[in-house]
Amino acid sequence: MLDEAVVPLPAGTFTIGKTFTFEAGHRLPSLPPDHKCSRQHGHSYQVEVILNAPALTGPGFVADFGDLAPFKTFLDTELDHHNLHEILPVEPTSENLARFLAGWFIHHLEPQIPGRLVAIRVRETARSWARFDVEPQ
Protein backbone atom coordinates (compact mmCIF):
# COMPACT_ATOMS: atom_id res chain seq x y z
CA MET A 1 0.00 0.00 0.00
CA LEU A 2 1.33 3.44 -0.92
CA ASP A 3 1.58 6.07 1.79
CA GLU A 4 2.28 9.80 2.01
CA ALA A 5 6.02 9.14 2.22
CA VAL A 6 5.84 7.76 -1.33
CA VAL A 7 3.30 10.28 -2.67
CA PRO A 8 3.21 13.50 -0.60
CA LEU A 9 -0.28 15.04 -0.57
CA PRO A 10 -0.22 18.76 -1.39
CA ALA A 11 -2.39 21.37 0.34
CA GLY A 12 -5.23 22.79 -1.71
CA THR A 13 -8.96 23.00 -2.28
CA PHE A 14 -11.18 20.24 -3.62
CA THR A 15 -13.73 21.06 -6.33
CA ILE A 16 -16.55 18.94 -7.76
CA GLY A 17 -19.22 19.52 -10.36
CA LYS A 18 -22.46 17.86 -11.36
CA THR A 19 -24.53 18.57 -14.46
CA PHE A 20 -28.32 18.51 -14.54
CA THR A 21 -30.64 18.91 -17.52
CA PHE A 22 -34.12 20.20 -18.22
CA GLU A 23 -36.16 21.34 -21.23
CA ALA A 24 -37.85 24.71 -21.27
CA GLY A 25 -39.08 27.48 -23.50
CA HIS A 26 -38.64 31.20 -23.13
CA ARG A 27 -38.50 34.52 -24.83
CA LEU A 28 -36.81 37.75 -23.85
CA PRO A 29 -39.63 40.31 -23.88
CA SER A 30 -37.39 43.35 -23.38
CA LEU A 31 -35.62 42.80 -26.71
CA PRO A 32 -36.83 44.52 -29.89
CA PRO A 33 -39.48 42.52 -31.79
CA ASP A 34 -37.10 41.83 -34.68
CA HIS A 35 -34.51 40.14 -32.41
CA LYS A 36 -34.78 36.35 -32.73
CA CYS A 37 -34.68 35.85 -28.94
CA SER A 38 -37.75 38.05 -28.45
CA ARG A 39 -39.77 35.26 -30.06
CA GLN A 40 -40.77 32.08 -28.22
CA HIS A 41 -38.15 29.34 -28.53
CA GLY A 42 -36.79 26.49 -26.44
CA HIS A 43 -33.58 24.96 -25.17
CA SER A 44 -32.28 21.72 -23.75
CA TYR A 45 -30.66 23.36 -20.74
CA GLN A 46 -27.64 21.96 -18.94
CA VAL A 47 -26.98 23.34 -15.48
CA GLU A 48 -23.65 22.62 -13.82
CA VAL A 49 -23.30 23.02 -10.06
CA ILE A 50 -19.71 23.60 -8.90
CA LEU A 51 -18.85 23.09 -5.21
CA ASN A 52 -15.62 23.25 -3.26
CA ALA A 53 -14.26 22.54 0.21
CA PRO A 54 -10.89 22.85 1.91
CA ALA A 55 -11.30 19.38 3.45
CA LEU A 56 -13.22 16.22 2.63
CA THR A 57 -15.97 14.58 4.68
CA GLY A 58 -17.15 10.98 4.94
CA PRO A 59 -15.18 8.59 2.81
CA GLY A 60 -13.59 11.51 0.91
CA PHE A 61 -16.33 13.77 -0.48
CA VAL A 62 -16.73 17.50 -0.98
CA ALA A 63 -20.42 16.53 -0.98
CA ASP A 64 -22.17 13.29 -1.81
CA PHE A 65 -23.61 13.71 -5.33
CA GLY A 66 -26.78 12.01 -4.05
CA ASP A 67 -27.30 14.91 -1.65
CA LEU A 68 -27.81 17.19 -4.65
CA ALA A 69 -31.04 15.38 -5.61
CA PRO A 70 -33.31 18.16 -4.26
CA PHE A 71 -31.81 20.52 -6.84
CA LYS A 72 -32.74 18.11 -9.62
CA THR A 73 -36.23 17.80 -8.15
CA PHE A 74 -36.58 21.60 -8.20
CA LEU A 75 -35.48 21.76 -11.84
CA ASP A 76 -37.86 18.95 -12.80
CA THR A 77 -40.92 20.25 -10.98
CA GLU A 78 -40.55 24.02 -11.35
CA LEU A 79 -38.66 24.64 -14.60
CA ASP A 80 -38.83 21.57 -16.86
CA HIS A 81 -41.29 22.03 -19.76
CA HIS A 82 -42.32 25.50 -18.60
CA ASN A 83 -42.07 28.91 -20.23
CA LEU A 84 -39.36 30.49 -18.11
CA HIS A 85 -40.42 34.07 -18.89
CA GLU A 86 -43.79 33.28 -17.29
CA ILE A 87 -42.47 31.84 -14.01
CA LEU A 88 -39.08 33.35 -13.17
CA PRO A 89 -38.79 36.62 -11.23
CA VAL A 90 -36.10 37.79 -13.70
CA GLU A 91 -35.83 37.92 -17.48
CA PRO A 92 -34.74 34.38 -18.46
CA THR A 93 -31.32 35.03 -19.95
CA SER A 94 -28.74 32.36 -19.18
CA GLU A 95 -26.93 34.85 -16.94
CA ASN A 96 -30.04 35.64 -14.90
CA LEU A 97 -31.01 31.97 -14.73
CA ALA A 98 -27.56 31.05 -13.39
CA ARG A 99 -27.83 33.69 -10.66
CA PHE A 100 -31.39 32.68 -9.77
CA LEU A 101 -30.40 29.00 -9.50
CA ALA A 102 -27.38 29.92 -7.35
CA GLY A 103 -29.73 31.77 -4.99
CA TRP A 104 -32.08 28.79 -4.80
CA PHE A 105 -29.20 26.39 -4.16
CA ILE A 106 -27.65 28.55 -1.41
CA HIS A 107 -30.97 29.08 0.34
CA HIS A 108 -32.47 25.60 0.06
CA LEU A 109 -29.62 23.12 -0.20
CA GLU A 110 -26.27 24.50 0.88
CA PRO A 111 -27.08 24.57 4.62
CA GLN A 112 -27.69 20.79 4.59
CA ILE A 113 -24.57 19.69 2.71
CA PRO A 114 -20.83 19.98 3.18
CA GLY A 115 -19.06 22.03 0.57
CA ARG A 116 -19.81 25.52 -0.65
CA LEU A 117 -21.34 26.61 -3.93
CA VAL A 118 -18.68 28.22 -6.12
CA ALA A 119 -20.63 28.73 -9.32
CA ILE A 120 -23.57 27.73 -11.48
CA ARG A 121 -23.08 27.37 -15.22
CA VAL A 122 -26.11 27.37 -17.54
CA ARG A 123 -25.71 26.05 -21.06
CA GLU A 124 -28.45 26.73 -23.63
CA THR A 125 -26.60 25.14 -26.53
CA ALA A 126 -23.47 23.07 -27.08
CA ARG A 127 -21.55 26.25 -27.89
CA SER A 128 -22.89 28.87 -25.46
CA TRP A 129 -23.02 29.16 -21.70
CA ALA A 130 -23.18 31.67 -18.86
CA ARG A 131 -21.66 31.26 -15.42
CA PHE A 132 -22.52 32.98 -12.14
CA ASP A 133 -19.72 32.89 -9.55
CA VAL A 134 -20.78 33.22 -5.93
CA GLU A 135 -18.75 35.74 -3.96
CA PRO A 136 -16.76 34.14 -1.13
CA GLN A 137 -18.23 34.76 2.30
Residues classed as catalytic: 37, 81, 124
Is 53:62 a contact under the CB 8 Å cutoff?
Answer: yes
Is 41:27 a contact under the CB 8 Å cutoff?
Answer: yes
Is 128:94 a contact under the CB 8 Å cutoff?
Answer: yes
- The sheet with strand 14-26 has its strands ordered as 14-26, 41-53, 116-125, 128-133
Give every CB contact of residue 110 below 8 A, 6+ residues apart in sequence: 116, 117
SS3 53: strand
